[in-house]
Amino acid sequence: MLADTDPLDLRIHRFLLRDAKGRVRAGWALPVGSFFGLRICHSFEFFYAGPLLCRALEGGSVHGASERWAALSVLAATVGRTLDIVVAECHPSLQDLRPLMRSGFQIVPEYTHRWPVRGLEQVWATMNREKRRQIRRAQEQYRYLRDDHLASLDQFFGLYRRTVAKFGQAPTRLWEGVLKRRLAWLRERDGCRLYACRDADGAALASVLVLLSPEDGTAYLWRAGSVPDGRSVEPLPALYWHVAESLADEDWEWDYINFGGSPAASLSRFKDYLGATPVLHFRLIRRRHDLRVGLWQGQERLRQALRWSRLRLALGAERAGRGRSSMAAG
């Protein structure tokens, strides 16, 4: 699905390590694009794309230590020979990455935040008192619901664009179009849901897109958007809490709600105040020493700079328009 919906030449490269009996012991699936003749895995926006180990090798058991080390070493060497650039985040369950470090991978620590779905009472007890007050007030004043209509998805994109602009991000229309096709595929399989907060008049105040991984027992608060700050009651904390309570009431036993990374320290602290536990995981980076790799990196930096310049111009025009409207109203 990812390859079929990508506007570029995306392919999923799958590396498998089998034992003498043909049993899969480890694997690694990476989304790879081709640029300037380079084979590049440059992150994966649907969360984790790190190495996978069979059940017997997971965890830190000493009984599988040698085989685990060998498996990760072989995967790292094979991926390193095959791809020119790799940027991928590992699942939090994979903590021992020494074989990859010794194979030329840079290991960068990252933090996500999680709520245990079957421990919400304890989460509520440890949550910041002000956040609990905000949630109660929002539940009294607003309406929270699962909202999977296509028109609501367009509202989500509008809220999301305004929210991420504060962090210097500018989603393109092309990205939105690709994501809509992917979400349609996921929705047919209950792989994603949209939850919303609406006021008494039905206006959307906040929206969160949730990705579901039943195999991992995890629901991901993948992307969220809300109206600009300044409302008397903040709607977003209660929206997250509504998602948690809804999943806890389902027959399926979900283990975690994963909040994902935080592009700013303030956002990370916000999740701390919600009683979410910071969880360490790792980003893997490997770049082949090649002139073309340097050219590609320069092109990427230029592209990001141009996008940020366009975003600042658009935000400036929006502020100027609001200022003219206020003056006219006055």
**pLDDT at residue 313, rounded to an integer:** 60
pLDDT grade for 256, boundaries at 50, 70 and 90: very high
- Mean pLDDT, residues 114-140: 96
From the list 42, 46, 89, 50, the residue with the least C-alpha distance to 72 is 50
pLDDT of 45: 82
59-114 residue pLDDT tens: 767 878 999 999 999 999 999 999 999 999 999 999 999 999 999 999 999 999 99
Indicate the pTM of the whole model.
Answer: 0.85
Q: What confidence score (pLDDT) does residue 264 get?
A: 83
Q: What pLDDT score does 170 carry?
A: 77
Q: Who has greater pLDDT, 259 or 290? A: 259
Burial class (CB in 10 A: 0-12, 13-18, 19+), 71: buried
The overall average pLDDT reported for the chain is: 87
- Whether the pLDDT of residue 150 is over 70: the answer is yes
Residue 294: pLDDT above 70?
Answer: no
Average pLDDT over residues 226-242: 86
Side-chain-side CA neighbours of 133 within 13 Å: the count stands at 4
Task: Using a pLDDT cut of 90, give the percent of the chain over it.
Answer: 61
- pLDDT over 70, % of the chain: 86
Least-confidence region, from 190-194, 229-233, 241-245: 229-233
- Is the pLDDT at 228 greater than 70? The verdict is yes
pLDDT at 324 > cutoff 70: no
Pick from 21, 223, 254, 20: nearest CA to 120: 254
- Whether the per-residue pLDDT at 248 is higher than 80: the answer is yes
Looking at beta carbons, which pairs linking 302-307 to residues 24 or more positions away fall under 8 Å?
Answer: 307/170, 307/172
Mean pLDDT across 249-262: 92
